[in-house]
């Protein structure tokens, strides 16, 4: 399944139609994107380093910059949180217009210490924290997206992932997923599809282990920034039935 999803995403990347550079950029941002990254106990220090560097490499990929500068506004706004039992903002909103802005984000990723946010997996808490950030976004955005990555199902928290996702959808926010398989929970992609992903144009790309995270995040960022999705969506356009809170 993992290879198939990545192949579909790769095909989608070849279909981009970027904005005409002779046309003035519009006000606002093409997308306000929050990356919500799992740093629970299943993510050891080596995997944590792979995640951080994977995001950095993804942002530095030319395809991502082309997607940013190819939109009507020619800019996006990006925030990054890391979550486990609690959540911490790694990058508050950053308006990204070009390489210099991306370099600053990469520097933050490579120099900021790992947060102390517990060890269990509260996906619902991560989505809720990501959703709260949109109230402070500096620009009006044409689209609002939360991209959740992780290698395990929720096992902590007062609000289930389903409920947090549904709250995001009610606010016009799409929730995409980047499940990481080949760990202790090799079927986590199925859980993400059922409980995390939803909203207009929602989709997920599966990373085959933390070693495959860099390639998956590159493709995911490019698709999300350009407002494209794979031909076959892996998520319903509407939320699933609400799930009860976790005990």
DSSP assignment of 163-179, as one string? HHHHHHHHTT-EEEEEE
- Domain ranges for the chain, please list them: 2-12+29-226
Whether the pLDDT of residue 147 is over 60: the answer is yes
For the stretch 170-186, pLDDT in tens is 999 999 999 999 778 99
Q: Which pLDDT value is given to residue 1?
A: 45
Beta pairing class for 87-96 and 32-38? unpaired
Task: Tell me the C-alpha distance between 173 and 59, whole Å.
Answer: 22
- The number of residues in the chain equals 247
Task: Tell me the C-alpha distance between 146 and 168, whole Å.
Answer: 9
> Tokens 């940013």, residue?
68
Query: What is the chain's mean pLDDT, rounded?
Result: 86
For the stretch 63-118, pLDDT in tens is 999 999 999 999 999 999 999 999 999 999 999 999 999 999 999 999 999 999 99
Helices (H), the chain: 2-13, 45-60, 62-69, 99-111, 123-133, 161-170, 188-195, 213-226
The arrangement of secondary structure in 2-12+29-226, i.e. its CATH architecture, is 3-Layer(aba) Sandwich (3.40)
């Amino acid at each position: 399944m993992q290879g198939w999803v990545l192949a579909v995403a790769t095909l989608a990347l070849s279909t981009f139609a970027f904005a005409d550079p002779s046309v003035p950029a519009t006000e606002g941002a093409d997308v306000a994107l929050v990356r919500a990254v799992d740093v629970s106990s299943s993510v050891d220090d080596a995997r944590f380093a792979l995640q951080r560097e994977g995001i950095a490499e993804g942002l530095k990929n030319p395809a991502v910059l082309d997607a940013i500068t190819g939109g009507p506004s020619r800019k996006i706004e990006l925030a990054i949180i890391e979550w486990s039992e609690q959540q911490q903002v790694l990058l508050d909103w950053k308006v990204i217009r070009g390489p210099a802005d991306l370099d600053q984000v990469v520097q933050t990723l490579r120099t900021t210490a790992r947060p102390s946010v517990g060890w269990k997996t509260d996906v619902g808490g991560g989505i809720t924290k990501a959703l709260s950030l949109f109230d402070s976004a500096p620009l009006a955005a044409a689209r609002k997206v939360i991209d959740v990555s992780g290698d395990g199902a929720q096992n902590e928290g007062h609000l289930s992932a389903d409920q947090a996702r549904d709250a995001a959808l009610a606010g016009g926010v799409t929730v995409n997923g980047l499940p990481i398989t080949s760990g202790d929970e090799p079927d986590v992609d199925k859980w993400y599809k059922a409980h995390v992903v939803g909203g207009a144009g929602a989709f997920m790309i599966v990373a085959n282990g933390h070693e495959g995270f860099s390639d998956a995040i590159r493709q995911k960022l490019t698709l999300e920034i350009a407002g494209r999705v794979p031909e076959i969506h892996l998520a319903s356009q509407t939320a699933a039935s609400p799930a009860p809170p976790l005990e």
